Structure 1
Amino acid sequence: MLPTDLLIHRLNGEEIVPKRLPLDEKILAIAEELITLFQEARHGTKGELNRQLQALEGEETDYRLKRGLAHLLNGAFSTFETVSPLDPTMLRERVFALSAQKIPSAIETQNTIDQVAEQLSQELNSEVFPEQVKTGLYADLPENQILIEFEAPTPEALVHRYNLSQVQGVFYRASHMVINAHRNDPGQYKLLFRYMKLFQLMTYIEGDADHGFTLTIDGPTSLFKPSTRYGLAIAKLLPALLHVTRWSLAAELQINDSYSGKTRQGRFAIDSDCGLISHYPPGKTYDSLLEEGFVDRWNKAKTEWRLEREVDLIPIPGSVMIPDFRIVHPDGRTFLVEIVGYWRPEYLRKKFSQVRQSGRDDLILAVSERLNLEKAGVRIADTPARIVWFKDQLLPKAVLEVLER
């Protein structure tokens, strides 16, 4: 994403309007020029690349636009690494130790460096040349790191990324946010809720898959002390939200007034017709190798029961439960399967609490025998779900035995 100094917003009353670039000939030409510069900078240093970027900015007034596009290319599409025959820290220690044996004058400094590099090269049995010693001495400094890989985007993709980043920057100062998602595919909801859990957002969820969900999220400025890290987490949620077909979002903001120096209220609203493009993948097929292995074994099992990956969401007070699988019989019987293989006590207590609150009598819990449920304060006897125990692999036979009972 973009740092605060590269965000370009304007105010329309209390409404904040982020900068959006058009996909016109001029903007695409700028994007293509920057992409070409990065492509030609491969195998060169970051310092040299930065000097070329500064020269490209020149005295033009659109320097913040170019700097923002370059920032995205630098962070999202480039890989810089320290290239040195030896660890630079160890190399400096050796060079300084040898240099300490001499007290050169200012005129002799370069000669001394050359002599030390030559001596160290000889000590290493000529595996490292003197010139490599000198270049590797400070190879770990950011400006000396080498651009070893650049995955060039199209100019259109770069502009889309820029527009998304400008909108994401709005949420750095969010104090409160409400998302309404309307009658979407359960798989889209599931992906969205997974990202919310990944970014550890404080969310209250109401609704169901048939009518839609309302997600109320506390922003970074609603905490006791504003948290930039939490603001970034909210901003990271937006690309995930773009995978949902129908939604709207309204946020309350704390804006710093540059004239008065005080903080005032602001607003921002956006919906699924915003035209932004997500760079997040649409989601992994499976959450874990445990789930993937279970599906592979089920497909080989001889049974009439059909295993389905995407299932309905189960609303519970203030949250939602997303079972891993649904098992369907030709006669119409269905069961939901949830795999519990994660060991953290907080997770276990929350998971079993969700099962109790769900009120479902068609739920099968597959529980790892390696979990210390007693230490986590979880009692199986209090759980209405059917229990299947497993060790390293969840076997279809164990689940089918429960179904037959």
Structure 2
Amino acid sequence: MLPTDLLHHHQNGEEIIPKRLKLDSKNIELANELISSFQEAVGKTQGTLERQLLELEGDTTDYKVKRGLAYLLKSGFCTFEVISPLEPQMLRERVFALAAKSVPSPELTQVTLKNIADNLTQELGREILPQQVRDGLYADLSENRILTNFEPPKPEELLHRYNLSQVQGVFYRASQLVLNAHRNVPGEYKLLFRYLKLFQLMAYIEGDADHGFTITIDGPTSLFNPSTRYGLAIAKLIPALLHVTKWSLSATLQVRDFYTETWKTGRFTLNSECGLVTHYPPGKPYDSMIEASFADKWNALKSCWALEREVDLIPIPGSVMIPDFRLVHPDGRSFLLEIIGYWRPEYLQKKFAQVRRAQCDNLILAISERLNLDKVGVKLNDVPARIVWFKDKLLPKSILAVIE
């Protein structure tokens, strides 16, 4: 994402409109020019790269766009490293301690560097040159870090990242977000809900898989002030949302008036037709090796029960539960299967609370025998589900024994 000083938004009434770059020949040429500058800077210092970028900016009026694109390249595609024969702070101590024993002069400086280099050569078992000692003295300063690796994106990819970052920047000042995730593939919902949890967003979820979900992201008033970081977490959710097929959202923002310096309310809307492109990876086929192994064994099984992945969602007040599998018989019978092999106490308490609230009459819980449920206060006598225990691997025959 971009820092606030590189965001480019304008306002039409209460509506906030972020700047977007067209994928035309002019902007693609600009992106290529910046990418080439980074490729040429590999092996050089960050300071050298910064000077090259400053020359590229020149005195043009689009300097903010160039800085934004360069920032995304530095933060997302570059590796900068501290290159020094010894930790720079330790190296400085040794050099200064030795230099303090003689009167400063250019000749004695060379002697000091050579002596340190010779000592380090013996200590490290590899040749260290005086120039390496000189370069390593302040290698920990940002301008002296070395660009050791650059993975050049395609120019279109860079422009997409810029446009997405500008939109994300709108949410830095978000105080509330209402998201309507319309009817989609259940796996897309699950990925979205995972990111909600990952970014520690407080969300109230209503709806069901047949009609879609309304997700309200909100929190205590004390969280929402002009300097809050909560908006950053909301901004991080947007690339995940782009994996969902059909959705729309509206956000309430806290915006500073350019003339009066006072805070006022702004609005922003977005939907699945926005044309933004995500850089977040798609969801994994399976959450764990246990699930993957179970699916492989079931597929090799000669059974009339079909195994389907993440196709049902169980709505519960304020949240949603997405079982791992659904088992379907040709005669119409079906069961939902949730595999519980994760050990964290908070997870177990939340999972079994969800099961109790769901009151689902066709749910099967496959629980690892390694879990100490008593220790975390989980009692199974009031859990409305069929229980199957497993050790290291969940075998299809133990599930078939329950459903048949």
| Equivalent residue, structure 1, for 2:109 | 110
Q: Distance in 2 between matches of 1:224 and 1:60?
A: 37
Q: Distance in 2 between matches of 1:119 and 1:398?
A: 69
Pairwise CA RMSD of aligned residues? 2.1
Unmatched segments (≥5 aa) in structure 2: none
Q: Deviations over 1:281-320 (max 9, x none)?
A: 2221111222222222323334332221132111110001
Q: Deviations over 1:33-80 (max 9, x none)?
A: 001111111122212111111111111111110000000111111122
Measured at CA, do residues 255 and 224 of structure 1 come closer, stay the same or move farther in structure 2, by a change above 3 Å?
Answer: closer
Alpha-carbon deviation of 1:152?
1.3
The AA in structure 2 aligned to 1:20 is R
Measured at CA, do residues 316 and 118 of structure 1 come closer, stay the same or move farther in structure 2, by a change above 3 Å?
Answer: closer
Work out whether 1:148 is the aligned partner of 2:148.
Answer: yes
The AA in structure 1 aligned to 2:296 is D
Q: Distance in 1 between matches of 2:252 and 2:25?
A: 35
The AA in structure 1 aligned to 2:212 is G
TM-score, scaled relative to structure 1: 0.93
User: Once structures 1 and 2 are overlaid, which stretch shifts more, 214-223 or 140-149?
Assistant: 214-223
| Equivalent residue, structure 2, for 1:232 | 232
Q: Distance in 2 between matches of 1:220 and 1:141?
A: 40
SS of residue in 2 equivalent to 1:265:
strand
The AA in structure 2 aligned to 1:26 is K
Identity %: 67
| Equivalent residue, structure 2, for 1:15 | 15
Work out whether 1:390 is the aligned partner of 2:397.
Answer: no
Q: Distance in 1 between matches of 2:121 and 2:185?
A: 67
1:291-310 equivalences in 2 (<5 Å): 291-310=291-310
Measured at CA, do residues 304 and 265 of structure 1 come closer, stay the same or move farther in structure 2, by a change above 3 Å?
Answer: same
Q: Distance in 2 between matches of 1:122 and 1:195?
A: 49
Contact 1:15–1:268 (CA under 8 A) maintained in structure 2: yes
Q: Distance in 1 between matches of 2:380 and 2:220?
A: 38
Measured at CA, do residues 161 and 221 of structure 1 come closer, stay the same or move farther in structure 2, by a change above 3 Å?
Answer: farther
Contact 1:309–1:324 (CA under 8 A) maintained in structure 2: yes
SS of residue in 1 equivalent to 2:52:
helix
SS of residue in 1 equivalent to 2:229:
helix
The AA in structure 2 aligned to 1:110 is T
| Equivalent residue, structure 1, for 2:69 | 69
| Equivalent residue, structure 2, for 1:340 | 340
SS of residue in 2 equivalent to 1:286:
coil
Measured at CA, do residues 12 and 381 of structure 1 come closer, stay the same or move farther in structure 2, by a change above 3 Å?
Answer: same
| Equivalent residue, structure 1, for 2:321 | 321
Q: Distance in 1 between matches of 2:218 and 2:105?
A: 60
Contact 1:180–1:215 (CA under 8 A) maintained in structure 2: yes
Work out whether 1:274 is the aligned partner of 2:290.
Answer: no
Measured at CA, do residues 387 and 251 of structure 1 come closer, stay the same or move farther in structure 2, by a change above 3 Å?
Answer: same
Q: Deviations over 1:143-202 (max 9, x none)?
A: 222222222111111111101100000000001110112222222212211211211110
Alpha-carbon deviation of 1:403?
2.2
SS of residue in 2 equivalent to 1:48:
helix
The AA in structure 1 aligned to 2:327 is I
Contact 2:9–2:17 (CA under 8 A) maintained in structure 1: yes
Contact 1:175–1:222 (CA under 8 A) maintained in structure 2: no
Q: Distance in 1 between matches of 2:25 and 2:78?
A: 25
Contact 1:220–1:226 (CA under 8 A) maintained in structure 2: no
Contact 2:249–2:269 (CA under 8 A) maintained in structure 1: yes
TM-score, scaled relative to structure 2: 0.93
Contact 1:310–1:324 (CA under 8 A) maintained in structure 2: yes
Contact 1:219–1:234 (CA under 8 A) maintained in structure 2: no
The AA in structure 2 aligned to 1:114 is L
Contact 1:121–1:133 (CA under 8 A) maintained in structure 2: no
Unmatched segments (≥5 aa) in structure 1: none
| Equivalent residue, structure 2, for 1:120 | 119
The AA in structure 1 aligned to 2:141 is L
| Equivalent residue, structure 2, for 1:401 | 401
SS of residue in 2 equivalent to 1:380:
coil
Q: Deviations over 1:253-292 (max 9, x none)?
A: 0111232221111111111111111112222111122222
Q: Deviations over 1:132-151 (max 9, x none)?
A: 22223333332222222222
| Equivalent residue, structure 1, for 2:193 | 193
Alpha-carbon deviation of 1:252?
0.4
Contact 2:224–2:230 (CA under 8 A) maintained in structure 1: no
Q: Deviations over 1:225-254 (max 9, x none)?
A: 566432221111111111222211100001
Alpha-carbon deviation of 1:113?
4.2
Measured at CA, do residues 278 and 237 of structure 1 come closer, stay the same or move farther in structure 2, by a change above 3 Å?
Answer: same
Q: Deviations over 1:327-358 (max 9, x none)?
A: 22233321111111222222212111111111
User: Once structures 1 and 2 are overlaid, which stretch shifts more, 14-23 or 283-292?
Assistant: 283-292
Q: Distance in 2 between matches of 1:227 and 1:393?
A: 48
